[in-house]
């Protein structure tokens, strides 16, 4: 809105882009520039052109960054973004419009709805309490614009370096001490609070086209969005071929979706199949523990101050199967007898054999500790050949087969069987036990009469998921109750 210093942000971006060697153009879009009125600033920059032909308005779904100094105005312009590429940075400290102040009937949407709208049209949404940050610094809240510019500079959302912004700031006529403090505070906030804003590798339109080719043109946006992020997760987890395998399985199962208005079945399949395929083995744990954002979060929670030393220690306790499960399947199968003997009840007794684990203490903030985890994370290319991968996929294929069996019988039964993947969670022996319980649940449903299957499957599953003493006891009670 007018009076918030939006021109400072727009000019700061333009000058930073020029400092980086780009050709730039910017415009203040038509609006009420006086204090409290709407005004919008639009900046484009590129390289390799004789001149830029600037449109006064951006193309819908094509903007790279949306900066909202007022949440309501950001929500109005959210449709210019897309959840394939746009990074939205918004000040969540509201400056209410006049109509919001005088309305007694709640005619304007609440803040949560505004943020949800922005999230629907952005890949990354960064909420910034910019005015609160200024108050903590003891400076005027009018410097909130500099905070937002600092967050942008630290977000990596644009191909600009922090030095480009700092030089642009020094050249600015309004960059006094408070503005510099606010900008640096925004940089710190971005360091501790922002996840990955790098461009995603799988274009959303490619997934949309695949669904259309398979005949699913009316699939709700929320399902497409879930599918999109599931594909991103599995690409990061293994590779694009693995994500493609997932997409083919989902498209194959979508033939059982009978209610396109709700897509309950599709939602279960898209979410739970992706979670199962992205099971957390030692490769994955090592990858997550070496991510830069993890250390940023730890420093923020520890209220780190410059000059302090923070030591990060990870206590790991993988059981026997989690360890040899990383080895190639052919090797483990060839030496199965040896593994059975090493962790057998004859050597350790029944209780200790089940509890056997290799306890480790890794100082992941040290060079040696970090390298151990980093090297293990880089061995994830071995995952498809591992013994654990083979056994997980045996269970996944069985799950898909159960869905196909249920889909032929009824839609509601297929929904319950698809949701049964929620039972599978945790690590080590707990996860293996829960995979077994899911199999028992499906066997129980199959043993029911055809008239009772649908209702009993839903009730037993609800009882298992909601039981206060856990899934296993919930299943035991449900079997007795609905036998």
pLDDT tens-digit profile of 225-268? 788 888 888 998 999 899 999 999 999 999 999 887 788 999 99
So what's the pLDDT on residue 149?
Answer: 92
Mean pLDDT along residues 326-346? 72
| In the predicted structure, residue 313 carries a pLDDT above the cut 60 | yes
| In the predicted structure, residue 391 carries a pLDDT above the cut 70 | yes
Question: Looking at per-residue confidence, does 91 or 27 come out higher?
Answer: 91
| In the predicted structure, residue 198 carries a pLDDT above the cut 70 | no
CA within 13 Å, CB half, 248: 6
Burial of 419 (0-12, 13-18, 19+ CB in 10 A): buried
Cβ neighbours of 416 (radius 10 Å): 25
Adjacent-strand bridge partners of 125: 88
So what's the pLDDT on residue 196?
Answer: 46
Distance of CA 314 to the CA centre of its chain: 23
Position 352 confidence tier, pLDDT thresholds 50, 70, 90: very low
| In the predicted structure, residue 291 carries a pLDDT above the cut 80 | yes
What secondary structure does DSSP assign to 295-360, as a single string? HHHHHHHTT--TT-----EEEE--BHHHHHTTSBHHHHHHTHHHHHHHT-HHHHHHHHHHH-B--E
Distance of CA 341 to the CA centre of its chain: 42
3-state secondary structure of 239: coil
Mean pLDDT along residues 34-52? 70
- Of all residues in the chain, the percent with pLDDT exceeding 70 is 84
Q: Which stretch of DSSP H or E encloses residue 128?
A: strand 124-128
Give the CA distances from residue 237 to residues 136, 231, 336, in Å, rounded to whole numbers and listed in that order: 40, 10, 28
Identify the residue whose tokens are 């400056």. 95
Computed over every residue of the chain, the mean pLDDT equals: 83
So what's the pLDDT on residue 189?
Answer: 83
Question: Looking at per-residue confidence, does 367 or 70 come out higher?
Answer: 367
So what's the pLDDT on residue 413?
Answer: 93
- Of all residues in the chain, the percent with pLDDT exceeding 90 is 30
| In the predicted structure, residue 38 carries a pLDDT above the cut 80 | no
| In the predicted structure, residue 203 carries a pLDDT above the cut 50 | yes
Mean pLDDT along residues 338-360? 58
pTM of the model: 0.66
So what's the pLDDT on residue 31?
Answer: 53
Determine contact, residues 34/7, Cβ cutoff 8 Å: no
Pairing of strands 313-316, 360-363: antiparallel
Axis crossing angle, helix 240-253 with helix 221-237, rounded to the nearest 10:
150
In this predicted structure, which of 31-45, 174-188, 461-475 has the lowest mean pLDDT? 31-45
Question: How many residues can be counted in the chain?
Answer: 483
Which residues contact residue 128 at a Cβ distance below 8 angstroms, ignoring those fewer than 6 apart?
Answer: 89, 90, 91, 92, 147, 148, 151, 186, 189
So what's the pLDDT on residue 404?
Answer: 95
Task: Sort residue 458 into left (φ over 0), alpha (ψ -120 to 50) or beta.
Answer: alpha
CA 162 – CA 103 distance, rounded (Å): 43
In this predicted structure, which of 33-47, 219-233, 445-459 has the lowest mean pLDDT? 33-47
So what's the pLDDT on residue 53?
Answer: 65
Mean pLDDT along residues 453-464? 89
What secondary structure does DSSP assign to 417-456, as a single string? HHHGGGG--SSHHHHHHHHHHHHHHHHHHHHS-TTTHHHH
Position 400 confidence tier, pLDDT thresholds 50, 70, 90: very high
Question: Looking at per-residue confidence, does 348 or 273 come out higher?
Answer: 273
Determine contact, residues 55/23, Cβ cutoff 8 Å: no
Question: Looking at per-residue confidence, does 68 or 104 come out higher?
Answer: 68
So what's the pLDDT on residue 378?
Answer: 94
């Amino acid at each position: 809105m007018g009076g918030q210093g939006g021109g400072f942000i727009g000019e700061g971006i333009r000058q930073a882009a020029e400092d980086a060697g780009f050709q730039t153009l910017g415009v203040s879009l038509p609006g009420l520039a006086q204090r409290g009125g709407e005004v919008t600033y639009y900046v484009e920059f590129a390289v390799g052109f004789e001149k830029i032909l600037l449109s006064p308005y951006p193309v819908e779904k094509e903007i790279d960054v949306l900066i909202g100094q007022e949440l309501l105005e950001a929500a109005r312009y959210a449709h210019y973004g897309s959840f394939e590429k746009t990074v939205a940075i918004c000040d969540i400290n509201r400056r209410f419009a006049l109509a919001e102040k005088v309305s007694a009937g709640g005619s304007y949407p609440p803040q949560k709805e505004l943020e949800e709208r922005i999230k629907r049209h952005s890949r990354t949404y960064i909420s910034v309490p910019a005015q609160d940050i200024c108050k903590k610094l003891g400076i005027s809240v009018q410097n909130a614009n500099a905070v937002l510019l600092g967050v942008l500079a630290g977000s990596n959302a644009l191909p600009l370096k922090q030095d480009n912004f700092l030089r642009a700031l020094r050249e600015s006529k309004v960059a006094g001490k408070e503005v510099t403090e606010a900008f640096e505070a925004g940089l710190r906030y971005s360091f501790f609070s922002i996840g990955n804003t790098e461009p995603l590798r799988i274009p959303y339109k490619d997934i949309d086209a695949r669904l259309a080719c398979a005949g699913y043109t009316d699939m709700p946006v929320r399902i497409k969005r879930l599918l999109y992020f599931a594909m991103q997760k599995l690409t990061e987890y293994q590779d694009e071929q693995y994500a493609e395998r997932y997409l083919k399985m989902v498209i194959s199962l979508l033939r059982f979706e009978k209610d396109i208005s709700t897509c309950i079945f599709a939602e279960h399949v898209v979410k739970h199949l992706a979670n199962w395929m992205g099971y957390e083995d030692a490769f994955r744990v090592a990858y997550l523990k070496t991510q830069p954002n993890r250390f940023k979060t730890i420093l923020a929670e520890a209220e780190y101050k410059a000059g302090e030393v923070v030591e990060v220690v990870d206590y790991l306790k993988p059981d026997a199967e989690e360890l040899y499960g990383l080895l190639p399947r052919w090797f483990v199968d060839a030496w199965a007898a040896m593994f059975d003997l090493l962790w057998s009840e004859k050597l350790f007794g029944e209780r200790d054999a089940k509890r056997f684990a290799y306890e480790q203490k890794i100082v992941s903030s040290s060079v040696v500790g970090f390298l151990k985890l980093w090297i293990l994370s880089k061995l994830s290319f071995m995952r498809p050949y591992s013994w654990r991968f083979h056994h997980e996929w045996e269970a996944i294929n069985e799950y898909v087969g159960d869905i196909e069996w249920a889909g032929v019988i009824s839609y509601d039964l297929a929904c319950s069987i698809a949701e049964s993947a929620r039972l599978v969670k945790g690590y080590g022996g707990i996860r293996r036990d829960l995979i077994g319980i899911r199999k028992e649940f499906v066997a129980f449903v199959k043993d029911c009469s055809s008239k009772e299957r649908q209702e009993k499957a839903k009730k037993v599953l609800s009882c298992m998921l909601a039981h206060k003493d856990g899934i296993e006891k919930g299943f035991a009670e449900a079997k007795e109750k609905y036998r």
